[in-house]
Structure 1
Amino acid sequence: MNNKISISLSSFMILSVFLVLSSCSNTAKKSNKKEAQETIFASDVTPFFDEWKLILGDGSNVGHANDFEHKDFFYTASDGETNWVVYKTPNAGNTHGTSNNTRTELAQVKKWYPETANDKLTATLKVMNVSTTGDARVAASYAVVIGQIHSADGHENEPLKIFYKKFPGHTKGSVFWDYEINTAGDDNSGRWDYSTAVWGYDLSVVGSGENTYPEEPKDGIVLGEEFTYEIVVKDGIMSLKFTSEGHESKSFTKNIIASEYATKADIPKQTQALFFPIGQDGVEREIAYTGEGCFFKLGCYNQTNGKSPEVNKNWCSGAETHGGDVQKQYEDGNYAEVWFKTASISVSDAAVSNEGYFTKNDFLYKK
């Protein structure tokens, strides 16, 4: 009788231990599953990544960025109230295509033709950092491009680049947009940009010395300040709208299928002062971007690099790069970082595959 009771108690204890262990195991599994579910990806914040391929700050093309993150370049962050998508890239590293500049940036998988387009891109963002070093006389120093229209054909020029730029020591930076001519002829070396200020300065405002800066803009945007841009291209006309709380809203239009700059006499004084001294004095083909497939870009295209200003005084910054060491650049502020709160894209039915652009440029990245 006692033996039977002993055996029963032993069986009960073994069963109890098993149930406890099983319960712990199930709890751990549930906890791990819950933790996995709580990971917030960029595609949870802006669920439109089927429309893009993502280029990282190491020059690689990771394709569609659904349920993807890279802690050096592309991830999400919270400001305590809102989740944001972080695009981050150093002053130097591997670059995509023929560019001298690193980027963590989305490139649209389809292209559309300006003359028949009805396409739209909107974004709400804040710039968190631009490079702390560079040559103040160089137009692109301390700047980042946060949105673009890019041509996939011909010279692959850019009818739109939206910039944010802030000089060291300034609290406020500038937002401006550039139109790059679609150079006439086969030689694209004469291409140039014409810049228009939104808040603060345009591209042409530079320092008088390497470390001498202009006066801080009175109506600028500070790091961490939220603003929105909207780009619409319809029937050959590019329409832009910029809004930010506490700032005057600004709207612009530009015909991108009929050139304003088809003769030397048409070239603006701003361009003559900025680009003529370095031999960039070309004219645009009369039909501008007509017949070329164009596409949107969005993200963090760092305009500050380590190349000597002697190479090009507008685009080569001579900034600190630590030999391309990404972490060292991040440690002392030599990088660009942009947070996107919302973004959306509308693609017309006439848009077609942009795969040819990626096929060509994915194999041209610079190490």
Structure 2
Amino acid sequence: MTLNNLNMNKKHIPSVATLILFSFFLILNSCKNEVKEPVEKEVEKTVYASDVIPFFDDWKLILGDGSNAGIANNFENKDFFYTVNDGNSDWVVFKTPNGGDTHGTSNNTRTELAQTKKWYPKTANDELTATLKVMNVSATGDARVAASHAVVVGQIHSADAFENEPLKIFYKKFPGHTKGSVFWHYEINTAGDDNSKRWDYSSAVWGNDFAVVGDSVNTYPEEPKDGIALGEEFSYEVKVEKGIMTLNFSSEGHETKTFTKNLLESEYTTTEDIPEQTQKLFVPIGQDGVERKSAYAGEGCFFKLGAYNQTNGKSPEVNRNWCSGAETHNGDIQKQYADGNYAEVWFKKGSISISEDAVSNEGYFTKND
């Protein structure tokens, strides 16, 4: 090969730098043409109430608009029933306004579970437990009305006859107070045909009972020293066995309290048996009945749990114990929520034990839905 030919061939041999640049171009172009898989966004999983407390097969859920949502597994309603996490635990929220459509014949709204079966006190071996905290009670209401600023967080209800209530567990806090009261009620199962004469007897757990009210519309009694604050946890256990109701209440930093009540034999069968508390609250407004001797014997009873708002917009002139005259914004739920005219209760734990003699409670829902 001549020198000229060799030089000519050298002209056609790429330099090392050219090869490197060419390789880099190929790699870069390959990356541009590579089809990238789309990145799927992680969808946040809804935590349902039935994930937090898995006992919803035993209940139907009544909402704060009066509707029956049925068995509430994998269910939520952002106005009334949903879950929250407070940074430590998941909670089930029951929320209901002062005014709106109600369930059955009640004057009060509720977001509340009602047991699908009923049982009979004489043969009962039934139990309900719950751990909860009350987050809000109505900002308005006549302070002279015993039910103002209160919510019922657990019940035993009769499904038969007058459908009275041998148990209601209350929380009540007046505006401006840090601490509220927990108390429970026994409602007589009225003798005779005139159930309008029924009345409740209230027992204090922590703080005051139902009878402690304000002297005027906007003046409040002294704040209870041993009360429960909004957002403070407490627990209750309700057991009915062979006609005897036993109640246990506990809360960290508070004395544990236990009560018992016979549901088969009344202690209020004559006018002389009417307690002083009742004479103060109920007798002046004509609720001065007596109870049938066998109390709740023979009637199917069932548990309830949730937020049964005791504050409503009805005039206190109708009933000075139960009609609060509170703000309802003509039933506008969102306006009531915006200015504190609602009840809100959070539950962290709950359990229910049902005796073998329990039967369907469908008749109650048929009558009241």
1:111-260 to structure 2, matched below 5 A, reads 111-260=118-267
List structure 1 runs of 4+ shifted beyond 6 angstroms.
Answer: 12-15
- How far does the alpha carbon of each residue in 1:134-160 deviate from its partner, in whole angstroms, 9 at most, with x for none? 000000000000000000000000000
Cα distance in 1 for residues equivalent to 2:111 and 2:46: 21
- How far does the alpha carbon of each residue in 1:113-144 deviate from its partner, in whole angstroms, 9 at most, with x for none? 00000000000000000001000000000000
Give 2:198's aligned amino acid. Answer: R
| Structure 1 residue 31: Cα displacement | 2.5
- State the partner residue of 2:3: none
- State the partner residue of 1:68: 75
Correspondence for 2:329 among 303, 322, 332: 322
Percent identity of the aligned residues?
A: 77
| Structure 1 residue 14: Cα displacement | 11
- State the partner residue of 2:42: 31
1:235-314 to structure 2, matched below 5 A, reads 235-314=242-321
Structure 1 residue 87 corresponds to structure 2 residue 87: no
Cα distance in 2 for residues equivalent to 1:79 and 1:16: 45
- How far does the alpha carbon of each residue in 1:262-284 deviate from its partner, in whole angstroms, 9 at most, with x for none? 11111101001100011000000
Instruction: Return closer, same or farther for 1:31/1:111 CA change in 2, 3 Å cut-off.
Output: same
Cα distance in 1 for residues equivalent to 2:33 and 2:131: 58
Unaligned runs of 5+ in 1: 1-11, 363-367
Correspondence for 2:108 among 101, 119, 122: 101
Q: Which has the greater radius of gyration?
A: 2
| Structure 1 residue 201: Cα displacement | 0.4
Cα distance in 1 for residues equivalent to 2:357 and 2:260: 22
Give 1:281's aligned amino acid. Answer: D
SS of 2:42's equivalent in the other structure is helix
Q: Aligned-residue CA RMSD in angstroms?
A: 1.6
| Structure 1 residue 13: Cα displacement | 9.4
SS of 1:189's equivalent in the other structure is helix
SS of 1:327's equivalent in the other structure is helix
SS of 1:136's equivalent in the other structure is coil
SS of 2:297's equivalent in the other structure is coil
- State the partner residue of 1:8: none
- How far does the alpha carbon of each residue in 1:184-215 deviate from its partner, in whole angstroms, 9 at most, with x for none? 11110100000000000000110010011100
- State the partner residue of 1:350: 357
| Structure 1 residue 39: Cα displacement | 1.1
Cα distance in 2 for residues equivalent to 1:290 and 1:15: 82
Cα distance in 1 for residues equivalent to 2:186 and 2:212: 16
Give 2:301's aligned amino acid. Answer: C
SS of 1:213's equivalent in the other structure is coil
| Structure 1 residue 15: Cα displacement | 9.0
Give 2:213's aligned amino acid. Answer: V
